[in-house]
Structure 1
Amino acid sequence: MSQLFPGAVVEPVELAEANGMVCIRTASVSDVQNLSVYFTGLSTTSRNKRFMGARTDFALVAAECVARTGRPGYFTLLAEVRQQGQHTIIGEANYTYDATARHGEFAISVADAFQRLGLGLQIMTAMETRAADLGHEMIAAETARTNAEMRGLAKKAGFRDTGLGDWQSVHLAKRLSR
């Protein structure tokens, strides 16, 4: 991809609001601490939307996100801004393939200061490309019915409501193409 950004899964982009380059790359075990710091830095509202409820064990969550890195069908993508030699995580997507259901499932978040700038769509597109490259044909997610931001992002990315949710949640799915 880019020699400046080794490990990038898509071409790095300049995000004016970030005052630097944004790189989307695959997480590794060495990212657990920084990912934990990222989760802690999300607003209470953003954390509740990402985890569909309250969580406080961010070091454990971060470790779980990267624990399966390298195993087929599991990956975490990190969006990080790089400024003056510093790397700061500003978004993430965690993907898990469910062989029984024959579709991938994901969760995604973007740091509060970087929401509504197109970063979420860039992360989702990178995640979908990676899943399609793994041969996966369907990707799905569940979100709270009240999470208008995720529902809007999913619609923009081509997901549809499957009708499988309940009174509190919406189940979204998309067929992947190669």
Structure 2
Amino acid sequence: MSQLFPEAVIRPVELAEADGVVCIRTASASDVKSLSVYFTDLSPTSRNKRFMGARADLAVVAAQCLAKTDRPDHFTLFAEFRQAGRRTIIGETHYAYDAAARHGEFAISVADAFQRMGFGLQMLNAMETRAIDLGHEMIAGETARTNAEMRGLARKAGFSDTGLGDWQSVHLAKRLSRQP
């Protein structure tokens, strides 16, 4: 991507008001502790929305998210705030391809202080680009019916409600295609 951020998935975004840079990068197996800390630091509301319920085993979940990073069809992307030599995860999206269903599934979260700044949409776009590069044609996710923020983000990113959810959840899907 650039000399300064060689592992960046997209161009880093400067945050002038915070005197730092946000970089979206691919996570690796060595990031388990950092991801666990990120999940723990999410507000209870954001954590509940990310996992569609309460979770106490955040270190286990972090390890599961990063367990298959050696396989191209499973990956996690981080939005990482970099300031004065420190790196802090401020968002994550996890993607896993389901060969039987013939589509990728995803989950996403953004730290409370960085919500509504466009990082969720940037992470979704980066995830979709990677899925397209892998030859995948469809991506799907599920969210609680009450999660208006995620439903709005998905709509903005071009996802549609498939009608496959139940009384508590909404199933979202998007057909992937290369832009001309």
Please indicate the TM-score interval, normalised by the length of the shorter structure: over 0.9
What do residues 26-72 of structure 1 show as CA deviations (whole Å, max 9, x unaligned)? 10111111110000000000000000000011111111111100203
Report what 1:174 is aligned to: 174
Contact 1:164/1:170, CA 8 A, preserved across alignment: yes
* Within-5 A mapping of 1:1-178: 1-178=1-178
Q: Secondary structure at the match of 1:90?
A: strand
How many pairs align?
A: 178
Contact 1:17/1:114, CA 8 A, preserved across alignment: no
Instruction: Report % sequence identity.
Output: 79
Segments of structure 2 that go 5 or more residues without pairing to the other structure are none
Q: State the distance in 1 between where 2:13 and 2:70 align.
A: 25
Segments of structure 1 that go 5 or more residues without pairing to the other structure are none
Contact 1:132/1:176, CA 8 A, preserved across alignment: yes
Q: Secondary structure at the match of 1:120?
A: helix
Residue 3 (structure 1) shift: 1.4
CA RMSD of aligned residues (A): 0.9
Q: Secondary structure at the match of 1:55?
A: coil
Residue 18 (structure 1) shift: 4.0
Residue 17 (structure 1) shift: 4.9
